Structure 1
């Protein structure tokens, strides 16, 4: 199966400091790729390069065969909005919106009618065990529930790739495993590729492909056959 996202020879530097050094990585539809490594090793920087948020100084990133370097700012913004999803360590929900409205946000930003967007969000929230919380605000639900809402928001528009930066880092071990289980099952079921940055080796062990990153150097550690 062809890689939906492929990066070859990626380089990123801030002045004389090389944060990412000729990294190669690719993911197929429905595949989970985990990147582990110590703090400051360049994991998150690489993730944001792959998502088209940080411009690279060398190498090439291709999404569905097209180089991100060929896209202008408006095309990159549309790509991140419509084809990519994002999950962050603390969820980053909008406090003034309900759980359902937060989950529906990518669809609303893409121009979908409110009723249709909320219906789609409700379906995903139901699969994550949050159907009864749709009308609550983020301040009225637990940390684990907030992170499930963030997962719903990342997957509601059926993106081709989700970029997850320490998505369970703020949760206790029980909630972390529960959220991860739901995240991976839902992503695989809809054929979404996931690039996951984590410090947790137990979480990385759940991935199909595992990388480590040390001082900007990315190394393939192993791949599972599903």
Structure 2
């Protein structure tokens, strides 16, 4: 029976690079609008698990399901459509397209989905405004700071109101002040529109902002119990 509040689940997931295990028998679930953090040292397998959950890396064993549908039952075209239309992504260094303006970068998911340029730019402008970037819409990525660039990446990930955003060290390239500000804005906007977040980080203070927390060590995922306040 499908749990209607569960947007994503993984059961018994294994991933190998050649013969080297990266993820071993991982179980994780994500409810609608929830924020889940996965922490661990570099090389622990946390980013590999994130890309399995996002349907980017095929699992060796086990199953990943989005809204009750197994990735293994989907062909490449349908899986690509889910990633494009229902998922958002934030990377450590933003990965903005240098030839596009801030506004055009933020609107990219809507344009790829076939929305008219004027409508996509209007939607992007609204999200950029909520992130304090309204005055920077016509600048190029090279003309904004690192913190501003990461806010643009957050806008791009959320502009199409995805079911889930997968964030891989989204504040890892920022100083502590910028990291805290970007994280506040990111999680506030995601929660306000009911978007779930899978957040991979090595920073325990960042992970503490999540609703549920997991750690990874040598490919093994362990759920952490939140202490009572």
TM-score range, shorter chain: over 0.9
| Corresponding residue to 2:124 among 105, 118, 121 | 121
- Aligned with residue 177 of structure 1, among 156, 163, 180: 180
Give the counterpart of 1:44 among 43, 47, 66.
47
Q: How many residues align?
A: 225
CA distance in 1, matches of 2:18, 2:172: 30
Unaligned runs of 5+ in 2: none
2: distance between equivalents of 1:110 and 1:101? Answer: 14
TM-score (norm 2): 0.96
TM-score after normalising by structure 1? 0.98
Match of 1:10 among 13, 17, 40: 13
DSSP-derived class of the 1:21 partner:
strand
CA shift digits 1:12-41 (9 cap, x unpaired): 011221110000111111110000001100
User: Which residue is 1:167 aligned to?
Assistant: 170
Asked if the contact 1:209/1:224 (under 8 Å) is kept, the reply is no
Structure 2 counterpart of 1:105: 108
Aligned to 2:70: 67
CA RMSD of aligned residues (A): 1.1
Point out where structure 1 has 5 or more consecutive residues left out of the alignment: none
Structure 1 runs of 4+ aligned residues shifted over 2 Å read: 222-225
Q: What CA deviation, in whole Å up to 9, does each residue of 1:98-153 have, x standing for no partner?
A: 00000000000000000000000000000000000000000000000000000000
2:186 aligned with 1:191, yes or no? Answer: no
1:85 deviation in Å? 0.2
